Structure 1
Amino acid sequence: MGVWGIVFIVAAFAGPLGAMGGTVPIGIDAGNGIGLPATFVVSTVILLLFSVAYTALTPHVPNAGAFYAYIGTGLGRRTGFGTAFMALLAYLALLVGVYGLLGSGITALLASWGVSAPWWVGALVSMVVATFLGYRNIDLSKKVLGVLLLAEVGIVIALDAAVVVSGGGEQGMSDGFTTPGALLSGAPGLALLFCFLSFLGFEATAVFRDECRDPDRTIPVATYLAVSLVGLLYVVSTWALISAWGDDEAVRIAADDPGAMLPGAVGNYLGGTAEHIVQVLYVTSLFACLLSIQNVTSRYAFTISQRGALPVALGTRHERHGSPSTASNVVTVIAAVFVVVAILLDMDPATELYAWFAGATTVGFIIMLLGTTVSALVFFGRRRRSGNREESVARVIVAPSIALLCLVVVFVLVLQNLEELVGGSAPVALAVLGSLALAFAYGFIVSARRPEMSLDA
């Protein structure tokens, strides 16, 4: 694989249309309103700084591809296993949340065709299809994903261009970039949370290390390009989406009907046909993302089981299909339980089910970024003390230190605003943090009691 092939995979995992139609409107409402584009700039810069240490550590990670392996390399096997369990829980939470977002997207699509259905119908049908594909080890064709991704990006760019050429809504182009207070208004911690969520999956660049022609060059370049291009797309497109409605109206519609924000803007600027197309692409984008999360979560459970930290049955493959079918089915059952509970509690699929569960995922994601950065500093610090100084100080000390400081600030801001995300409920906010802590502690304790377990098994 080359640089652009890996960049393409990362962009497909990010699902730009799904983020623009789901994550961004919720981020505008729950976060800092018209300051969200500037927050994407901040997030992109922080992730680029993080990527310096991440790519420097990649050649030294035997089990490259997952943050728990990176953390284990510098901070030890026990910490690595603790992170693996926390990551498993984080992906499970995201899977549940995306079912809510996808269900609401399907409901909106059916409504545009004159068909009325509650969100959970689409969510449960999608669950059946995703379970079948996961059980049979059937992934969506790369060609199909390629066409859908190009269509997603194409229609987002077309909207951006139309808004800029027309000069925006009644208030003109948004001035969120030039208003100093916009970045820190509202709940900047939640704005950062949803921005980081939109980049989830960029670590996949290192998964393909063994499949690259020149991994020591390809992986760093692909990582920097993926973060930069995806970040640029989010910055420009979020600014254009807000401008399409005007600052005041954008904030209002993000609060009242977040699912209608992107389709409505497309309809206003590109016409009714384009609006229907974007609704279809939004659903297909979220389903592709859902299937990726299902596969990643199942394989996390499968891999952890093979290392002896979960029941043996989860680490077995289907005799005929070769899929981690048991792990996939267990993941589905867990997700189904939470979706059914959400239905019984009459939770809003986007602003509650998705926002709450995806928020928990992002907290875990930021912790993993912090852990990986600390791991890199510890690892290269040991190498330098032992006399190995091949890597430059700027790459393995300066950049990671700045990234660590920035990530600590982000984490503190997220924690300060977490209670607001979950409806002002302190117990729910504590439950989110407690669940992640318990998952980490379980993995740490299990690996401590079983020294034969190895991250590289």
Structure 2
Amino acid sequence: MAFSAFLVLSERFSLRRRISQGVFVTQQSSPPNHRTHLRQGAVGVAGILFFVLSAQAPLTGVAGTLPIPLGLGNGGGVPAVYLAVGVMIGLFSVGFIAMSRHVTDAGAFYAYVSRGLGKPLGVGASQAAVLCYSATQAGMYGLYGVVVQGLFQKYASIDLPWWVWTVGTICLVQALGSLNIEFGARLLAVLVVAETSLLVAFAIHEVLSGGGPQGLDLAGSFSPSAFFSGAPGVALTFAIACVIGFESTAIYAAEAKDPARTVPRATYLSVAVISIFFAFVSWMFVSYYGPDNVQDVARNALESGSATSVVFDAVTATLGSWATGAMQILLATSLIAGVLAFHNGINRYFHSLGSTGVLPAWLSRTNRQGAPYTASLVQTLVTLAMVVPFAIAGADPVITLLTWGGGVGVLALMLLYLLTSLSIVVFFRRTRFDTRRWNTLIAPMLSMALLLGATVLALNNFTTLISASGTTAVVLELTVVAVFTGGVVLGYARNRGAGTDPADPAPRDPTHDVTASA
């Protein structure tokens, strides 16, 4: 938020100087002789799907995150929690997709909330979205630095601090983020297929071998008693963390082939693939150890400081010793895929905010490949500003940077989902563009109720999520509130006498809307 305020102030100083020189520039105008349009028709359903899946970093979500809900949550009932989150997000997607037919914008949450609840709240949502993705990405960089540091120590006898590898990769991601979107989609596709193949191979082996000591026990993982055993709130919080980024399907609408069809298909596919994948793979790990034993195994691993051993030991014992080194390397590439996906998503938020006058117009510039290169550079600077202080302070990159970033990301995401659900209902009640009650009222209201309950559970388990004290939890919670509130204030300031905003246009007949006609 402070960085956004700095950008706004710098733009205003530049604007006054140009006016004093006799040059009039409207708020919405783009810098002369600069490209500002993203490349249209550049990516299809598969490309968008890989952007979404890479943001989940499947191997990271399984090896790095799964042991926590297994050990501290509801143990063998974790697979059912992933399915429950899939249902909740699926309900949210119904209204989300209905609105995507009328709003095609790279700043999805910003545009959706602006249309439904007004520009000030939309700007607040945009700042919360940038915080959500940036904090999550920064946390992933912390884990990445530790993983790569260990790899080079083990295989090359090179011992450098974690932050050296992290900063170097931040620069690499900056370069990749300035290339065309097709290249990014292809690269992410390769990385996602590589990391998921090992987990799928383990899961298939478990199915064919009949599972572990208790076999393939459906009741031990999917019954109501399994779901509500232990602390399901902890498991629910971590399951929600694993779906951060699914909504980025709408972020790429402006660059999609036939967005009216591509975005809905990619959204439903991503929700189904994410929830089923994590539910199935987690069930196989529960089956390997047995529903009655898995919580003790995971808790012991957490207490010994080797949480990843829950997954690494099982895969190595099943597939062979070669799998250990392969997983270590694939965990690093999984994290690269994740941070690149978040980098691309944040770029497009900055591009959208620059295009609509919320932030300086130069953020909307694109290069010859149609990539938002100035937004990419700003996003890189924001990432460095988040990561470098932890390195200077000598803080643990996993216990602090990863957990704090993930915790802030989850809270900001829940706020965004709630605001978007409400804006969907208000938008369609006001415009009547879509009169289907299930799509525009019932499903959004159901998702809002479930999301509100999930938010309460997340707050109640926040200290567990961030592995820190109550004071730290309050500070991080207030950070989300402060960023959102600051965005709302910025929205009011920018909206005062500013005229029409492309993200909040006057209602129009959907029959004349190209994105709604398909």
TM-score (ref. length: structure 2): 0.78
Match of 1:115 in 2: 157
> How many residues are paired up?
452
Match of 2:328 in 1: 279
Q: Which one has a bigger Cα radius of gyration?
A: 2
Match of 2:205 in 1: 162
In structure 2, relative to structure 1, the CA distance for the partners of 1:423 and 1:23 (3 Å cut) is: closer
**Rounded Cα–Cα distance in structure 2 between residues aligned with 1:215 and 1:323:** 18
The structure carrying a bigger helix percent of its residues is 1
Greater CA drift, 355-364 or 39-48: 355-364
Following superposition of structure 1 onto structure 2, how do residues 313-392 of structure 1 map, counting pairs within 5 Å?
Answer: 314=363, 324-384=372-432, 390-392=434-436
CA displacement at 1:302 relative to structure 2: 4.0
CA displacement at 1:40 relative to structure 2: 0.4
Match of 1:411 among 455, 461, 471: 455
Counterpart of 2:124 in structure 1: which amino acid?
G
Counterpart of 1:353 in structure 2: which amino acid?
L
Counterpart of 2:430 in structure 1: which amino acid?
R
**Rounded Cα–Cα distance in structure 2 between residues aligned with 1:115 and 1:177:** 43
In structure 2, relative to structure 1, the CA distance for the partners of 1:31 and 1:313 (3 Å cut) is: farther
Following superposition of structure 1 onto structure 2, how do residues 9-408 of structure 1 map, counting pairs within 5 Å?
Answer: 9-63=51-105, 66-113=108-155, 115=157, 117=159, 118-134=161-177, 140-170=183-213, 172-173=215-216, 176-178=220-222, 180-209=224-253, 215-246=259-290, 247=294, 248-255=296-303, 256-311=305-360, 314=363, 324-384=372-432, 390-408=434-452
RMSD: 3.0
**Rounded Cα–Cα distance in structure 2 between residues aligned with 1:317 and 1:349:** 33
**3-state SS of 1:282 partner:** helix
**3-state SS of 2:435 partner:** coil
**Rounded Cα–Cα distance in structure 2 between residues aligned with 1:104 and 1:95:** 15
Instruction: Assess if the C-alpha contact under 8 Å between 2:177 and 2:184 holds in 1.
Output: no
Instruction: Assess if the C-alpha contact under 8 Å between 1:133 and 1:139 holds in 2.
Output: no
Counterpart of 1:41 in structure 2: which amino acid?
L
In structure 2, relative to structure 1, the CA distance for the partners of 1:196 and 1:455 (3 Å cut) is: farther
**Rounded Cα–Cα distance in structure 2 between residues aligned with 1:110 and 1:137:** 31
**Rounded Cα–Cα distance in structure 2 between residues aligned with 1:29 and 1:119:** 27
Match of 2:491 in 1: 447
Instruction: Assess if the C-alpha contact under 8 Å between 1:65 and 1:208 holds in 2.
Output: no
**3-state SS of 1:113 partner:** helix
Q: Percent identity?
A: 35
Instruction: Assess if the C-alpha contact under 8 Å between 1:374 and 1:404 holds in 2.
Output: yes
Counterpart of 2:353 in structure 1: which amino acid?
I
Structure 1's unaligned 5+ residue stretches are: none
Runs of 4+ in 1 over 6 A off after TM superposition: 136-139
Instruction: Assess if the C-alpha contact under 8 Å between 2:212 and 2:287 holds in 1.
Output: yes
TM-score (ref. length: structure 1): 0.87
In structure 2, relative to structure 1, the CA distance for the partners of 1:427 and 1:293 (3 Å cut) is: same
**Rounded Cα–Cα distance in structure 2 between residues aligned with 1:110 and 1:241:** 29
Structure 2's unaligned 5+ residue stretches are: 1-42, 505-518
Greater CA drift, 192-201 or 280-289: 192-201
CA displacement at 1:71 relative to structure 2: 1.3
CA displacement at 1:419 relative to structure 2: 2.7
Greater CA drift, 228-237 or 209-218: 209-218
Instruction: Assess if the C-alpha contact under 8 Å between 2:50 and 2:185 holds in 1.
Output: no
**3-state SS of 2:358 partner:** coil
Counterpart of 1:76 in structure 2: which amino acid?
G
